[in-house]
Structure 1
Amino acid sequence: MTESNKPSLEVCLSPALLNLFDVKNSIVVIIDVLRATSTICTALYNGATRVIPVSSVEECVNIGRAIGGITAGERDGKIAEGLVHGNSPFEYPREFVEGKTLVLTTTNGTKLLHMAKDAVQIVTGSFPNISAVCDYLVAQQQNVILGCAAWKDRVNIEDTLFAGAVVSRIRQHFDVNCDSAIAAESLYQMAREDIYSFMKQASHYKRLANYGLEKDIEYCLTPDGANVLPVFRNGELVAAE
């Protein structure tokens, strides 16, 4: 707790900066809007029993084989070689994913998740589950770090925008004495009228649009399409009760 008796709310703009934050005394929200954390909440919302995030494609294949899970993931925006499915949220409708385990590896999001392992609690956030994330953080009354997965350690617009949207919604419940949180909120206020159009200048937008994935991007920027809270426990993500 800070001097104001409110918990602190901070934004870590890149995994490369996470060592500067007090992870052990905070809830960490992993943010990888395009597309890992959007896909995780979508799969759980559509009835997946759990999502197991792993670092490597090899690990993904081995675990998937051992448990009969769906192996999925991407490298640089494309389905990773050796895997059957990518990390588009549209690949995981209820009729496909219900009752199954998804084993997922991604370029940025799964790495940050494992880096934050000492946190009080780890949850994942994206626009499709923003209300669930905000409600949870307000209820917990603990210090929060909004951790952006970024792109290969470089700050990106979409994760910063989501962090800013969360700060904007819940700041009155927290002590916000963090320049990156203020900057993220300012960026969100600039973009909020039309986030999709604002995103067209972003490098990740261009990368995914080159693969014809504009529909994915639009979904990932739309609030509350899959409003569940993925919580990381014992190496797997499950929907909070």
Structure 2
Amino acid sequence: MPDKPNLEVCLSPALLHLFDTKDTVTVIIDVFRATSTIAAALDNGARRIVPVASVEECIAIGKVTPNSITAGERDGKVAPGLEYGNSPSEYPRTFIEGKDLILTTTNGTRLLHMVKDAHTIVTGSFPNLSAIVEFLRKEQRRVLLACASWKDRFNLEDALFAGAVAAQLKDEFTINCDSAMACISLNADSRGDYFEYLKRGAHYKRLSGFGLESDMVYCTTADVHPVVPMLKGGDLVVHR
């Protein structure tokens, strides 16, 4: 029987240099809210999502891209100069279908640009949890679950999602990674009630102060967007 592929969890972009991303399937995780918004927009018919690191680049690309929307946040708020924010509920099919979404966020889009040599890069959050698990199961390739965290500091929600993925794959992958095992324990502790569990987290408290509790309910609801967003040629598109 062939060896099972390894699965690891990187808890912060500041730790990414400690992991070998070459030939991995790397899953970028930014639950609150970038990767939840990406799943929602693509499932609702966005043609593509262009993830960019800076607000300035977002604005510049939007100016030369027909039928596009510039969107993103800094520190939980719509960034000055952009049209829309980073709430998944902002992108229903009636609004986003057929359009390009040019997106920049505090943490998630930055991490996307940091992973250079992975075989495949996809994005994951609770709204596309099962789709990501099934994709990784079929790929049978070494996996890195990469948490965007909060300005390089550990956050609970990204680790919890990593644990939800790892818990479902632990019998099919080799897990010799303390961070992955810790995330699996977090998932078990949550008993599947992700929203209630994350109310204790610092990021929940930060975003609820901006009146974004409904966003966090959305971002912790499993399997409402059964898509696998994949990075191809610098754009995120639905994997077919």
2:230 match: secondary structure: strand
**Residues 41 and 96, structure 2, Cα contact 8 Å, conserved in 1:** yes
SS in structure 2 of the partner of residue 86 of structure 1: coil
Q: Establish whether residue 95 from structure 1 lines up as the match of residue 89 from structure 2.
A: no
Kindly provide the CA deviation profile for residues 111-132 of structure 1, in whole angstroms up to 9, marking residues without a partner as x. 1101012111000000000111
Tell me if 1:164 matches 2:163.
yes
Aligned to 2:135: 136
* Counterpart position of 2:193: 194
TM-score (norm 2): 0.98
Q: In structure 1, which of residues 11, 14, 21 is the aligned counterpart of residue 12 of structure 2? A: 14
Aligned partners of 1:157, 1:144: CA distance in 2, in Å? 20
- 2:62 is matched with 64
Q: CA RMSD in A?
A: 1.1
Q: Does the alignment pair 1:50 with 2:48?
A: yes
Post-superposition Cα deviations, 1:144-167, rounded to whole Å, max 9, x if no partner, equal 000000000000000000000000
The answer to whether the aligner puts 1:185 opposite 2:209 as a matched pair is: no
| CA distance in structure 2 between the partners assigned to 1:169 and 1:218 by the alignment | 22
2:26 alignment partner in structure 1: 28
Measured in 2, the distance between the counterparts of 1:193 and 1:120 equals 31
Using the TM superposition, give the Cα deviation of residue 65 of structure 1 relative to its aligned residue in structure 2, in angstroms.
1.1
CA distance in 1, matches of 2:187, 2:145: 14
- Matched residue of 1:11: which SS? strand
Q: How far did 1:13 drift? A: 0.3
Who is 2:125 aligned against? 126
Report which stretch shifted further, 30-39 or 194-203: 194-203
What secondary structure sits across from 1:145 in the alignment? strand
Q: Distance in 1 between matches of 2:122 and 2:58?
A: 21
2:116 equivalent to 1:85? no
Superposition deviation, residue 192 in structure 1: 2.4
1:40 Cα shift?
0.2
Deviations 1:211-234 (A, max 9, x none): 111110011001011110000011
Distance 1:4 1:160 in 2: 29
3-state SS in 2 of match to 1:25: coil
Aligned equivalent of 1:150: 149
> For the residues of structure 1 that align with 2:4 and 2:187, how far apart are their CA atoms?
23
Structure 2 partner of 1:219: 218
The TM-score with structure 1 as length reference comes to 0.97
Moved over 6 A (4+): none
Name the CA distance, whole Å, in 1 between partners of 2:28 and 2:216.
18
Q: Which amino acid aligns with 1:203?
A: A
Tell me the matched-pair count.
239
Structure 2: runs of 5+ lacking an equivalent: none
Provide the residue aligned with 1:207 in structure 2: 206
- In structure 1, how many angstroms separate the alpha carbons of the residues matched to 2:191 and 2:172? 21
Q: CA–CA distance in 2 between the matches of 1:140 and 1:122?
A: 12
CA contact (8 A) 1:4 1:175 kept: no
- Unpaired segments ≥5 residues, structure 1: none
Give the equivalent residue in structure 2 for 1:37: 35
Cα displacement (A) at 1:4: 6.9
Deviation (angstroms), 1:198: 1.4
